[in-house]
Amino acid sequence: MPDLEVNLAKTYDAVIIGSGAAGGMAAHVLTTHGLHVLMLEAGKKLPIEQELRSMEWPYDNANRGALPPDSHSLSFNEYTIRKPPYGAGFEKAKHLKSYIGDSDYVKNIVVDERENPFTGTNYAWVRARCLGGKTNIWGRLALRLSDYDFKAKDRDGYGENWPISYSDIQPYYDKVDLYLGITGVKENLPYLPDSIFQRPTKLNCAELTLKQSLQKMGRVATQYRAGVTSDGLKHNKYRSRCYGRGACERKGGCDIHAAFDSPTGLIYPAQDTGNLTLRTNSTVREITVDPNTGKASGVHFTDSQTMKDYHVKAKVVVVAASTLESARLLLLSKSRLYPNGLANSSGHVGHNFCEHVMGPGIAGKVKDLVGKPPTLDDGRPGGFYLTRFRNLAEKHPKFIRGYGFEGSSGSAMFPRGTDVHGFGASFKEEVRKNQGAYIGMGAFGEVLSRYENFVDLDPVVKDKWGIPALRFHYKFGDNEHRMAEDMKETAQEMFEAAGFEIMYVSDRVLTEGWSIHELGTARMGNDPKTSVLNQFEQSHDVKNLFVVDGSAFVNASCQNPTWTIMSLCWRSCDYLADELKKGNL
Amino acid sequence: MSTNDPIDLRQDRRQWLRTSATMVGASLLPLPAVAAETSQAEAKPAASTAKADEGKSAAHFFTPVQFTLVEELSETIIPADSRSGGAKAAKVADYIDKVLRETIDDNKKSLWREGLRLIEIMSQHYHDKSFVASTAVERIAVLTVLSDNSKLTELPEVRFFNDLKELTVTGYYTSKIGIHDELEYKGNRILKEYVGCDDQGPATS
């Protein structure tokens, strides 16, 4: 994969802004179609294997795997008490990181909050500015959406339907499964369609107990559907199959790339086609417009390190900077023709911002497993996924939409249950005896898409590159809080039914943003008055502008978004390439 | 001290602080004294010891006397037993020293200096001897007072105990002894096939 120089005199077929799941997929699809593509990434290309060091023992790490002591990562309490821009009160910290940054393995992957400020309502905004973005530390749960999500309005009257159905995207889910690899077990659920799975991981005994108990309640727990190749991928020389090495719970990625990440899964193979030019350290500040045609003409970017400004021309601009950054860039791209920002004649850019609410969860102990010899339980990319069960056949009286739980159980490198009372010989023995007996899970629920939840540009605060910061106007609503109460109640009910001894149960809602599943800020739709993009993630206003990341989502569903982002992006980029060849862009 | 009834820490501390005032001088009061830097200076070993230890102590947070105390405190939190070594063998005090030496949180540094001082006062109050000179049973008795009152986080000795426990737990279970000897952790190695629950049989797709 040769690194090609950017040719500023050339007009590229397409410029892609961002190198995460969406940008990587756009690069893969467009280069496969033979297009000459430039990818701009704001951050560095990190020596990622040296960052992740997935098999490093904690005692071989100077800080036992924690963030170096000169830096600080924000805690739940700090997010609650303080107001953005976060930074005041942490003057002594050399670097200030979001909550996920509390690890030596991700310290260079997530951004410094002070270089990248934002204002407004509290938000745990996790950003990774480096090649591959957040896919480098991806949680791996790879779920499909169904018509229960795409046509949710038909079921409960709320919000808007997507301009596509499951049948439109299903072939692209299949392509993503086969190209990137996914492990799981078929369940034939109408609301959670199966993927084309590679060899699944297995459930351990506690998880199997839960699964069997849930069956009696008509609920489903299934093996974690992980975007991980368990059988290997013959067409990809950059990724190994999963060897179940067991550090998957560590906050950080996979240094053999069995778990999907954008660079090894998508970008390096795209570079091998010879059609992709990649420039890192390129912070895009504006999408430029040809005043005569009204079409996008290219992008204006700043070298993130030298601060030098450049302009590059392209026939098509593909925005894949992540949901909130993509909205920010559209709003920044104001011109005489587009005074409210690019692709924003509807006024919906930045609005309908949605995600997943999380926090409520439960931990319990399986009495039969207490005191059993230690077992290997974490040699898997994930434990189990407990699928949605609310508002499927019956309507819940207190809230609409649904939630699922992610969970795991058994021994881990750092024992669970050290927060029990006491100390001394009995404490030590209790930790040892209980270490394999724990089972826990946490909920992810749909946050309703609401016009009133939005981001805009702060009139004063700017980032390190002098670019106006994003300002948040975003809060969970009543539906989310009622759902959170139900999450706690059902978690308790299901653990009790399985016979687990409950150690902890909570309906505490974590700070907005915690799920790292921001969505919806440039939603798709058939009506240009109420949506930003059409069903191919193409701007209604500007034909040669596509926004292919999570901002295109019409609702959040309760399933994790990455697999859908990539499947939609593949579909849109097939269309893009076709339209470009036809001369329609 | 009675080991049957939980001690009323708020009640008790008035007494032991009074004792300490007459014992070591009123300069230690009032509490919570973030005049901790002063007490740190007072806690320094005699000049000759300090000199012999100079090169070392410059790079350390704890004085040699404090270090020994932390070793015994951490060992009381996670002791050696027939199965594995305890916090002392796992060098937890070295880990804690590094954390405190490098932290940018000055309150944490102060809390530890204050906490170590208060532990000594408590030990003198309850057993008329230093924590290090106490028997295992006596040491446990002192920490039980704090453990049983771990919710009273407005008291510096309680906050100290909670942090001592947290750092000891982290230091111990991230050590070789904690991971391999004590918990016999099986993972972090190349695994041919993950073995699931026995009843489950071969996984099917």
A422 touches chain B (CB under 8 A): yes
The closest CB to that of A245, out of B77, B174, B189, belongs to: B189
Q: Tell me, what's the pLDDT at A337?
A: 96
pLDDT of A274-316, one tens digit each? 999 999 999 999 999 999 999 999 999 999 999 999 999 999 9
B95 touches chain A (CB under 8 A): yes
A436 touches chain B (CB under 8 A): no
pLDDT of A57-69, one tens digit each? 999 999 999 999 9
Per-residue pLDDT averaged across A484-496, rounded? Answer: 98
Read off the pLDDT band of A23 (50, 70, 90): very high
Q: What is the ipTM score, two decimals?
A: 0.92
Per-residue pLDDT averaged across A365-390, rounded? Answer: 92
Q: Tell me, what's the pLDDT at B10?
A: 77
A368 touches chain B (CB under 8 A): no
Write out chain A residues lying below 8 Å of B170, CB-based.
Answer: 64
- Contact (CB<8Å) B165/A423: yes
Q: Tell me, what's the pLDDT at A420?
A: 87
Write out chain A residues lying below 8 Å of B83, CB-based.
Answer: 432
Give the number of beta-carbon pairs within 8 Å between A and B. 138
Q: Tell me, what's the pLDDT at B194?
A: 78
How close does chain A come to B117, measured CA to CA in Å?
Answer: 21
CA neighbours closer than 13 Å in the CB half-sphere of residue A389: 17
B76 touches chain A (CB under 8 A): yes
B199 touches chain A (CB under 8 A): yes
**Which class in CATH covers the domain with range A182-259+356-446+476-511?**
alpha beta
Rounded to two decimals, the pTM is: 0.92
CB interface of A with B, residues 36-75, below 8 Å: 55, 57-59, 64-65, 69-70, 72
Q: Are A319 and A326 in contact (CB under 8 A)?
A: yes
- Contact (CB<8Å) A423/B147: yes
Q: Which residue of A has its CA nearest to B180?
A: A413
pLDDT of A233-261, one tens digit each? 999 999 999 998 877 777 678 999 999 99
Tokens of A289: 């417009």
The closest CB to that of A423, out of B77, B171, B203, belongs to: B77
- Contact (CB<8Å) A205/B203: no
B43 touches chain A (CB under 8 A): no
Q: Tell me, what's the pLDDT at B205?
A: 36
B151 touches chain A (CB under 8 A): no
Residue by residue, what is the 3-state secondary structure of A102-125?
CCCCCCCCCCCCCCCCCEECCCCC
Q: Tell me, what's the pLDDT at A511?
A: 97
Per-residue pLDDT averaged across A183-198, rounded? Answer: 97
Average pLDDT over chain A, rounded to an integer: 96
The closest CB to that of B104, out of A92, A201, A202, belongs to: A92
- Contact (CB<8Å) A59/B169: no
Task: Specify the residue for token string 């939005």.
Answer: A454
Write out chain A residues lying below 8 Å of B204, CB-based.
Answer: 185, 200
- Contact (CB<8Å) B194/A380: yes
Tokens of A433: 């005896």
The closest CB to that of A247, out of B104, B188, B200, belongs to: B188
- Contact (CB<8Å) B194/A59: no
The closest CB to that of A59, out of B143, B175, B189, belongs to: B175
How close does chain A come to B164, measured CA to CA in Å?
Answer: 11
Inside any domain, residue B138: yes
A200 touches chain B (CB under 8 A): yes
Nearest Cα neighbor of A263 from A18, A33, A38, A35 is A18
CA distance A194 to A144: 7
Inside any domain, residue B3: no
Q: Which residue of A has its CA nearest to B183?
A: A432
CA distance A416 to A430: 11
User: How many angstroms separate the Cα of A541 from the Cα of each of A439, A482, A534, A545?
Assistant: 50, 38, 10, 9
Region for residue A350 given its phi and psi (left: phi exceeds 0; alpha: psi -120 to 50; beta: otherwise):
left
Inside any domain, residue B195: no
Inside any domain, residue B202: no
Selected residue with higher pLDDT from A445 and B39: A445
Overall domain count for chain B: 1
Selected residue with higher pLDDT from A246 and A320: A320
Q: Tell me, what's the pLDDT at A341?
A: 98
Q: Tell me, what's the pLDDT at B48?
A: 41
Q: Tell me, what's the pLDDT at A472?
A: 98
- Contact (CB<8Å) A201/B203: yes
CA distance B198 to A412: 19
A103 touches chain B (CB under 8 A): no
- Contact (CB<8Å) A376/B190: no
Q: Tell me, what's the pLDDT at B122?
A: 94
pLDDT of residue A147 exceeding 50, the answer is yes
CA distance B146 to B152: 9
Domain that holds residue B21: 9-186
CB interface of A with B, residues 227-256, below 8 Å: 243-247
B162 touches chain A (CB under 8 A): no
The closest CB to that of A413, out of B185, B200, B203, belongs to: B185
The closest CB to that of B79, out of A186, A421, A428, belongs to: A428
CA distance A38 to A20: 14
- Contact (CB<8Å) A207/B197: yes
Per-residue pLDDT averaged across A328-340, rounded? Answer: 97
**pLDDT tens by residue, chain B, 205 residues:** 444 566 677 777 777 777 665 554 333 323 333 333 334 434 444 344 444 444 444 479 999 999 999 999 999 999 999 999 999 999 999 999 999 999 999 999 999 999 999 999 999 999 999 999 999 999 999 999 999 999 999 999 999 999 999 999 999 999 999 999 999 998 898 887 777 885 544 444 3
Which residues are within 8 A (CB) of A460 and not within 5 positions of it... i.e. 6 or more apart?
Answer: none
How close does chain B come to A374, measured CA to CA in Å?
Answer: 7
Q: Which residue of B has its CA nearest to A199?
A: B205
Q: Tell me, what's the pLDDT at A355?
A: 98
Q: Tell me, what's the pLDDT at B193?
A: 76
- Contact (CB<8Å) B187/A245: yes
The H or E element that residue A26 is part of is helix A21-32
- Contact (CB<8Å) A198/B205: yes
Nearest Cα neighbor of A127 from A114, A111, A139, A116 is A111
Write out chain A residues lying below 8 Å of B165, CB-based.
Answer: 423
Q: DSSP for B13-79?
A: HHHHHHHHHHHH-GGG-SSS--THHHHHHHHSPPHHHHHHTHHHHHT-SS-HHHHHHHHHHHHHHS-
- Contact (CB<8Å) A413/B143: no
Nearest Cα neighbor of B120 from B28, B54, B41, B57 is B28
Q: Tell me, what's the pLDDT at B35?
A: 35
Inside any domain, residue B199: no
Q: Tell me, what's the pLDDT at B25?
A: 38
- Cβ-based neighbour number of residue A5 at 10 Å: 8
